[in-house]
Amino acid sequence: MGWLSGREKGSPAYSAVEHVALLSVMSQAADAFNCSESSPQWEEVYSQMCTEYYQSSGIWLSGALHGHFVDLYSSFKQGIRHLSVQDTEKKSPIIYTKGDDCCEEYMDALYKLPGLDAKKYNSKKWWSCGVAEMLLPMHIGYTSEFGSGQQTAGWLSEKATAHKT
């Protein structure tokens, strides 16, 4: 692993258990999903991770953890894109309902992708059914507001202001 540097050097050290903890904390903090590293939402997430998960051992720097989440989510979105191109019948659900046959089939296909190409989807250690089951509803919730067709100039202006602050 001597060829890795910077953020890539620490990436293999993350695990699916750590991702489940991170996603759990993010799901409890309002507007924390896909927030910026300098936002109060991320500060809350990072603080909770330090006290509840890391408990003063093996603590990542805030920027490293945030950057890693960005990598995790990017890999996840790449999997969604791959499935939509590879199998035109497998489309990301608009609403995730645990136990629904279509959702479960999609989730199973999505979960299997990292095993097929670890270079494209990063370390297999990152992924578990739990990680995928937590990420998909968060992703759907985040992207649904952009695809609802209700974006007006005022809505875009509010979003721009919110992201600046």
- Higher pLDDT: 20 or 160? It is 20
Tell whether the model's pLDDT for residue 42 goes beyond 70. yes
- The string of pLDDT tens digits covering residues 43-90 is 999 999 999 888 866 678 999 999 989 988 988 888 888 888 876 666
Domain boundaries along the sequence of the chain = 14-149
Report whether 21 contacts 53 (CB < 8 A): yes
Distance CA 51, CA 49 (A): 6
pLDDT for position 13: 74
H or E element that contains 120? helix 118-121
Average pLDDT taken over every residue of the chain: 78
Distance CA 25, CA 37 (A): 15
pLDDT for position 45: 95
Question: Full-prediction pTM beyond 0.85?
Answer: no
Distance CA 147, CA 136 (A): 16
The residues, any chain, with a CB within 8 Å of residue 9's CB and separated by 6 or more, are 1
